[in-house]
Amino acid sequence: MPRSFLSKLVDEKNNIFLVTGDDDGLNAWYYVQTDQRKASMLLKEAPGKKTKLTDYGEILDSGWGAMPPRAIQAKYQSQES
């Protein structure tokens, strides 16, 4: 469960968000797919609050580090069309 996260909508058509933050003291990133209702709820989450991302949708990819590797980012950017 990340803390101090930032959510960015990367694929509006499919409601896929890139969520980055601190997970137990380590940088982590997650791609989360939500439904429309939960997308607005996820965007309103307060930074610094512990959040269970599976409450908002399905985690499609995740890993350690400040940002996902470029190949993973490209995978989701290509879905935007």
More confident residue, 72 or 51: 72
Q: Averaged over 16-32, what is the pLDDT?
A: 89
Spans of all domains in the chain: 3-65
Q: What are the φ and ψ backbone dihedral angles of 14, each rounded to 5 degrees?
A: -110, 10
38: number of CA atoms within 13 Å, CB side?
Answer: 15
pTM of the model: 0.82
Q: Which of 33-37, 68-72, 77-81 has the lowest mean pLDDT?
A: 77-81
